[in-house]
Each structure stands twice: as structure tokens, then as C-alpha cells.
A = this chain, B = another copy of it.
Amino acid sequence: MSAQLLLVECPDRRGLVHGVTGLLLRQGCNVISNHEFVDHETARFFMRTEFTGEADADQIRRDTLAMLPQPATVRLSSLAPRRVAVLCSREHHCLADLVVRHAFGEINAHILAVASNYADLGEFVGKFGLPFHAISHDDISRDEHEQRLLEAILPYDPEYLVLAKYMRILSPQFVNRFPSRIINIHHSFLPAFAGAKPYHQAFRRGVKIIGATAHFVTEGLDQGPIIVQEVLPVDHTHGPQDLAQAGREVEKLALARALKLVFEDRVFLCENRTVIFD
């Protein structure tokens, strides 16, 4: 009888915590921990309740949904490892960190496969016995490339896609197949330095801090809800290459923290923001 999660969001109303916890008690469940938040901007209520008990999970989900003001969303989670596909390009740092954490059971996920528009990282991925699909974008259209990507990854039926420095822009059609289920790591701080050669931009601007942002992918490039932001200090002795290395270090940290939060069902979306019960 391991713990389960009840994940609720709905319009705020008086008595929600009392109501949901009462429903669980009547089902013979025991609440282990509970987090709630009301976003005042949207008057929306969020709740993450960890509970144990032998009750019928689907019954709890339906009963909870029925008692909430609408529109509401209710999910039940057993915290089973997430089914994840990873996209990457040529940079190894985020992918390697993810694969090693996976190999030692440090993230709550099964990496099903890795796909890339370059073959470079195939050897590394292969060491860990994971399928690797090299799908070049040369000489084909973006649509065609995305089509081939989908053919490679859809058979694994992934819940989440992780873009571990995947350096191509995904079309809205592709993104919309995985709504709020694609996680990206972005060089430098959003919304600053959003274009090309960000570390050269950052160098010329003389920044004293390098950051990285892990976020959900939405149709707008690099505009999705932020999950984690991390920074490292830099100084005048750092040229563009050094800034890029600092960027790699901080990207690795930010993505790992974001995936931990998402894969433990700690992240809710609230408009273009995230509510995180950490």
C-alpha cells in the first residue's frame, strides 16, 4: 500500500481543502502531506495531496471531480516512473547528465529512447543500452524531419519529451501533440539574449552572471512557463567560450532540477506561470 497523489486544480471557493480531505477520509484514506495554493491573479486553486489507503483510485478521482467547481482538473498519480523520450543535437552535457542519473536511478523516469538530428551522441547513449535514433535534417523539410522524428519516438508512447539541447525549433503542430509535456533547457536567461550566439551577445554586453532556464515548450519559441532558473557568476576574464562553458554547467543543473520536479508531479501550470510544490 504505497502512497498516491491526488492533484487538483479548479476555481477557488470556500471549503475546498476541507471538502477534498473529507472525501479522502470517507474513503478510508490517510493524508500524508498536503500542499495548496490559491493564485490571486486568476482565483484558481491548486492542491497536491499525498495519501495512502486501499480505496478505488478511479472512484476517488470521479468523486473529487464531481464535488469541485468547474472547470476542474483532477489527476491521480502513483508516482510510477515517467515514460520519457529525449531529443538532443550535438552538445552532450545535458543528455549525459540525464542518462547517468537514469542509469543510477536518480530520476523518476524511464528513458525509452533518444533521438537526435546528429549521430554524434549515439556512441555514448549506446553504452547505456538505450535506443538511439539519428535522424538527419539534411536535405529534407522541417515537416519531413519532424515526421521522421515522430515515427521514431511515437512507438515508445512517451508521456514526456525532454529537449536536452535539441537545437531545432519545433513546429506548433509538433508541440501541440505534447501539450505541457515537452521540457526544454534554454541557454542564458529568458527573455534576454533570445536570438543566435547568445554567449557572444552576453560577452559584448559584459554580463556578470550566466543563467539557464528550464521551461515547458509552447508554440511561442522560448516563451513557455518557467520551471527552474539557475545562475553562475562570471567576470571579465571569461571570453565567449568560457561563458558558454559556464552556460553548460548551469543548464545541466537547471534541467536536472526541473525534471525532478516534473517527474514527481510537483509542477502545476497557471497561465504562463508554474506553481511548484517543492
Contact = CB atoms under 8 A, between A and B. Distances in A.
A135 to B, nearest CB: 22
A207 B229 contact: yes
A33 interface: yes
Interface of A is mostly: mixed
Copy tally for this chain in the complex stands at 4
A66 interface: no
A107 to B, nearest CB: 12
A25 interface: yes
A17 B17 contact: yes
Q: Determine the interface band of chain A, counting residues with CB < 8 A from chain B.
A: 35 or more
B32 A21 contact: no
Contact of A205 (B226, B230, B270): B226
A16 to B, nearest CB: 8
Q: Which 5 A-B pairs have the closest CB atoms?
A: A206-B273, A18-B21, A208-B229, A127-B127, A192-B192
Given A192-B192, A204-B273, 14 more contacts: A15-B25, A17-B17, A18-B18, A18-B22, A18-B25, A18-B31, A34-B34, A92-B104, A100-B100, A189-B189, A189-B192, A208-B228, A209-B211, A236-B270
14 contacts: A14-B25, A14-B31, A18-B25, A21-B21, A33-B38, A127-B127, A189-B209, A192-B192, A203-B273, A204-B271, A204-B273, A205-B272, A206-B273, A208-B227
Interface of A: 14-15, 17-18, 21-22, 25, 30-41, 92-93, 96-97, 100, 103-104, 124, 127-128, 189-193, 203-209, 211, 225-231, 235-237, 239, 270-276, 278
